[in-house]
Amino acid sequence: MKQLINIGILLMVYIVSSHAQSYVALESLDQAVAIALEKNAGLQALSLEEERQLRLQKTVSELDKTQFYHSFDENNIAPNDRPLRVYGVQQNFPFPTVWGSRKRLYRLNTRLAHTQYLMGEWELKRKVSQAYYEVIYRQNRLKQLTYLDSLYEEFQGAATRQYASGESGYLEKIAATNYYQRIHLQRLQEEEALGLVYAKLEAALQTEDAIRVTYTPLEQSVVPDTAMMPLTLNYVKLIEQQAQANFRLQRQTLLPDISLEYFRGFNNGENAQVYNGYSVGLAVPLWFVPAAHQVQAEKIRLARVEQEGRHYLRQWESQRHQLQSSLNQYYQAIQYLEESGLPSAREMQEVARKSYQLGEINYLNYIQILESVTHSQLEYLDNLNSYNQAFWELYYLTGLP
């Protein structure tokens, strides 16, 4: 029997340990960003694409396969009346200007891949920053709601006891119960919301372990030390330059290729000699209609890219104005709450607490005042979070809010 008990205990320990999960404790936003830059698979994929383009850039002088051949033709008779066996090599070269156009295109592809990597890094930092501050926001809300949940539960218990003893009426009892159930539901919803935000942060960091952010009071975000020009504007220019380079290279395909050939012929007859020869030629597209249509297609693509660039710039400017306007509105709300709303709420809470202790108001009045105070505190957190989200959106859109 003892052995069975011991085996059961060992099994329980194994089950608990197998389900135990390690956590990565995040102390700061910089730590979270550093982990994301190291672990995020999407960013690593962009880095590999940049490396691929660097490799392709070294293939700019690529030629068609060299042709080595042997031919035997009984009509090809040497002076000794015997047919020649001919060995030769042939190579086609693109027109010289093609290499220059191809080199420019490959360089642009490499610059574009590097810019895409920087944009991916920039976008990842934005997602991490917004998710990190949203976690802190949810933690602060949850702390406030947990405190109220505990306090309202005590009031509900007190109201139930007073009703049972006949010290208060049924209305006070159900009102206290309603307040408690409502705040309890809000706390449960806030726990779910916090879990969803953690999932968003973990999706950006992509660590093997779960994430836990150290609790800190929510504050306004400040401009980081590393500011930079908006990458997306540079990206639009590079896309246009790439389309122009593609168009130029496509036009180069209408130019003739250069063909070089060298060969040697000989036989095993009397007075046999080696006969050298060479040929130089141009490969001209006699049926140039498809190539001409391809050039026109690239020209249309260039015009499309230019229009998309103009459209993006207008959208970018509109989004910048909207975010700046939202940021100003949230900032004004925060200033009002810090200077007037929250001090008044704290004073009202202190007066209500003393009045309740002195018996000047009952617990129902006290709960109503606490609810008003809580509304101001949660409103402050909501505006802080909205400000921070707009702040990071604007910073990573423009480089500097």
Domain boundaries, the chain: 22-289
* Spatial distance between the Cα atoms of 351 and 369, rounded to a whole number of angstroms: 10
**pLDDT tens profile 112-141:** 999 999 999 999 999 999 999 999 999 999
Q: How far apart are CA 67 and CA 274, in angstroms?
A: 21
Percent of the chain at pLDDT > 70 equals 93
Query: What burial class does residue 250 get, using C-beta atoms within 10 Å of its C-beta: 0-12 exposed, 13-18 middle, 19+ buried?
Result: buried
Assign domain 22-289 to its CATH superfamily: Outer membrane efflux proteins (OEP) (1.20.1600.10)
| pLDDT for residue 226 | 61
Pairing outcome for strands 210-213 and 23-26: parallel
Using alpha carbons only, what angle is made at residue 60 by residues 58 and 64, rounded to the nearest 5 degrees? 120
> Is the model more confident about 296 or about 230?
296
Q: Comparing 11-15, 72-76, 376-380, which segment has the lowest mean pLDDT? A: 11-15
In sequence order, which residues have a C-beta less than 8 Å from that of residue 282 and are 6 or more positions away? 256, 257, 258, 259
pLDDT for 266 equals 87
The answer to whether residue 13 scores a pLDDT higher than 50 is no
CA-based nearest residue to 128, from 232, 27, 32: 32
Handedness of CA 99, 102, 106, 111 (dihedral sign): positive
Q: What integer pLDDT is reported at residue 14 of this predicted model?
A: 35
The predicted model gives 207-219 an average pLDDT of 90
Across the range 192-219, mean pLDDT stands at: 92
Q: Is the pLDDT of residue 334 over 50?
A: yes
Parallel, antiparallel or unpaired: strands 23-26 and 67-77: unpaired
Phi, psi for 212 (deg, rounded to 5): -135, 120
| Residue 32 scores a pLDDT above 50 | yes
pLDDT for res 154? 84
CA angle at 211 for the pair 208 and 213, rounded to the nearest 5°: 160
Does the pLDDT at position 79 exceed 90?
no
Stronger pLDDT, 156 or 218, i.e. the higher one: 218
Q: Which two tokens stand for residue 376?
A: 């101001």
SS3 at position 280: strand
The residue-averaged pLDDT of 332-354 equals 90
SS3 52: helix
Beta bridge partners of 69: 88
DSSP letters, 185-237, are: HHHHHHHHHHHHHHHHHHHHH--SSEEEEPP---------S-----HHHHHHH
Answer for the pair 160, 173: CB distance below 8 angstroms, yes or no: yes
User: Are 64 and 92 within 8 A, CB to CB?
Assistant: yes
Q: β-pairing, 275-283 with 257-266? A: antiparallel
